[in-house]
Amino acid sequence: MQKNRTLISLLILVIIILGSIVIVQYQAKKAAWLPYTIGTAVPSTSDMPVGMVMKTFPMSMTEPVPTIAMTITEDSMKGWNVHVITTNFTFTPEQLDGATVAGDGHVHLYIDGHLIIMLGDWYHIDALTPGTHTIKVGLFNNDHSAYAVNGNNIEASQTITVQ
């Protein structure tokens, strides 16, 4: 009888531990992919490609290949203004999380590794702490797949120094 109770207790303990591991892994995965609230910063590691890319949208050389560039200017009142310049690309905020369409989508903006979804070509950064900051932008399709050509994501990066 005592042996059965010990065995049942041990089995319950194993189930609790395995359940905890599954929950922690689920929450980590959820934290990496769910925060697509517009304008919300999402922490990520700086060694990951723009947008924590899990999949790409490879461009065919028979289609017009989109390009991306950006300008960053200090705002006269406060912060910084980021202007994204694209070619062969249309912002389609109404299609966010929808089906892929060549030439459509949105931009993933990274400020020191923090993701912000851009649904248009301008973004205002309220403030940055003194020091050096890396700003990256990348083209993404409606389903958050990164536009890529020959295996390289279509993106641009700049470093700015704040006094």
Residue type (1 letter), 152? N
Reported pTM: 0.68
φ and ψ at 42, to 5 degrees?
-120, 120
Q: Kindly report, residue by residue over 127-159, the tens digit of the pLDDT.
A: 899 999 999 999 999 999 999 998 899 999 999
Contact indicator for 125, 133 with CB cutoff of 8 Å: no
- At 26, list the tokens: 């689920």
The answer, yes or no, to whether residue 27 has pLDDT greater than 80, is no
Strand ranges of the sheet holding 122-125, from the earlier edge strand across to the other edge? 67-74, 80-87, 122-125
Encoded amino acid at 153, one letter: N
pLDDT tens string 77-98: 999 999 999 999 999 999 999 9
CB atoms within 10 A of CB 31: 12
Given its phi and psi angles, is residue 113 left (phi above 0), alpha (psi -120 to 50 degrees) or beta? left
The first and second tokens of residue 99, run together, are 């089906």
Name the helix (H) or strand (E) containing 18: helix 2-33
